[in-house]
Chains A and B, each alone.
Chain A
Amino acid sequence: MGGKVDLTYSGAVWSGPPAFAEAGVKPSDMKYASIYDSFTITVIMQLEDLGFCEKGQGGRFVSDGNLISGEGKLPFNTDGGGLCNNHPSNRGGLTKVLEAVRQLRGEAHPAVQVKNCDLALAHGTGGSLGTRHNAATVIMERE
């Protein structure tokens, strides 16, 4: 970085677009998303970088209720995520895949199970958010 620090985006700007292109789908097609949530700002930045809302609108996207299963556009971390459920050391990314698979199989908790959930995204970030930019995005579809 050498002092050219920019804390306004995450590695999702690189991992997201190729994942959507490879899968042949777009963010608005997603029925469910598991997104790594080490901190609240982590989620907001990644929602924007993955294209679920305009850059700078992540806070509003969340406060409008879009992440609530059964109500919003993007049911999210229905296991409670890292902030409200668990964060197993440096394996926080795997829990994101687990809940996405539960949703696709229809095995999530009935209170938060997304109806006809056939397309889901799991995304993780690692290292120091904003200055290291490690990220991985997977898109999963139920056949």
Chain B
Amino acid sequence: MAQGQAAAGERKITPPPVNVETQEFWDAASQGKLLVKKCTSCGEVHFYPRNICPFCFSEKTEWQETSGRGTIYTYSVMRRAPVPYAIAYVELAEGPRIMTNIVDCDLNAIKVGQAVRLVFKASEGGQQVPMFAPA
């Protein structure tokens, strides 16, 4: 079997730490939604989600649901992991580049610029985690 192809066995995904700033994000993820934050003061959309806008430091930030569409900005295949996987930055249609994984595909066929769509994978304990698969 070529390196990078799906190996036998399921990959275990570490559950994310959840805090008061991100509780709503993870609750939404469990309902199949990927949220980002938008600042109503300066208009910038940011990720990861924070109460205080990282661009203008206003506290006037609100949640915004994303379309789930994006393109691969860059990626790296972790071939030495027990079950190989691809870590990546995906540029969302809404603007922010988010760190995620590319899943449900041949890891050797991933390309920068490739169109991807949002999927969710369960981490250990059940929390759903947003990831992306080829569109």
Q: Which residues of A contact B (CB under 8 A)?
A: 1-5, 7
Q: Select A1's contact among B36, B45, B53, B54, beta carbons within 8 Å.
A: B54
Task: Say yes or no for B89: interface residue by CB 8 A criterion.
Answer: yes
User: B53 to chain A: which residues have CB within 8 Å?
Assistant: 2
Q: Select A5's contact among B36, B45, B97, beta carbons within 8 Å.
A: B97
A2 to chain B, nearest CB (A): 4
A2 CA to B89 CA in the complex, in Å?
13
User: B95 to chain A: which residues have CB within 8 Å?
Assistant: 3
A2 pairs with B96, CB closer than 8 A: yes
A3 pairs with B98, CB closer than 8 A: yes
A3 pairs with B74, CB closer than 8 A: no
Q: How many residues of B contact A (CB 8 A)?
A: 17
User: A4 to chain B: which residues have CB within 8 Å?
Assistant: 96-97
A1 CA to B95 CA in the complex, in Å?
12
Q: Select A2's contact among B55, B73, B74, beta carbons within 8 Å.
A: B55
26 contacts between A and B (CB under 8 A): A1-B54, A2-B44, A2-B46, A2-B47, A2-B50, A2-B53, A2-B54, A2-B55, A2-B96, A3-B36, A3-B45, A3-B46, A3-B47, A3-B48, A3-B95, A3-B96, A3-B97, A3-B98, A4-B96, A4-B97, A5-B73, A5-B89, A5-B97, A7-B73, A7-B74, A7-B89
A5 CA to B96 CA in the complex, in Å?
8
B96 to chain A: closest residue by CB: A3
